Amino acid sequence: MSTLHTVNKSPFERNSLDTCLSLAGNGSTVLLIEDGVAGALKNTTATQSISDAMGKGVKFAVLGEDLSARGLPADRIIDGISVVDYTGFVQLAADHDNVQSWL
């Protein structure tokens, strides 16, 4: 079983990303949406925990529309995080066995 985790809160405001990363395992994907996209940027206090999770085999994606809306450039995101659109979000949901939203 593989899970798509969505995180919609900034890691600088809530612990959603922390809890998510403590539970996301090999083969699962974490998709950052809404205010959660802030966690995708390089050189933040959240960057290391994302890199560590990548090392465990967790994949990462970020919703491009939410990055753009917030003026956060896609060329500043952590290497290895893929940028998807809403169709990509749908595809991720279809490709995993279940979806956990870290509200």
Q: In the complex, which residues of this chain contact other proteins (CB under 8 A)?
A: 1-3, 6, 8, 15, 19, 22-25, 28, 33-35, 65, 85-87, 89-91, 93-94, 97-103
Neighbour count for residue 7 (Cβ, 10 Å): 30
> At its nearest, how many Å lie between other proteins and the CB of residue 20?
10
How far apart (Å, rounded) are the C-alpha atoms in residues 12 and 90? 27
Q: Which is nearer to other proteins, 23 or 42 (CB)?
A: 23
> At its nearest, how many Å lie between other proteins and the CB of residue 49?
14
Q: Which is nearer to other proteins, 43 or 94 (CB)?
A: 94
Contact 47, 15 (CB under 8 A): no
Q: Which is nearer to other proteins, 42 or 90 (CB)?
A: 90
Neighbour count for residue 42 (Cβ, 10 Å): 13
Task: Report which of 36, 34, 28 is spatially closest to residue 53, judged by C-alpha positions.
Answer: 28
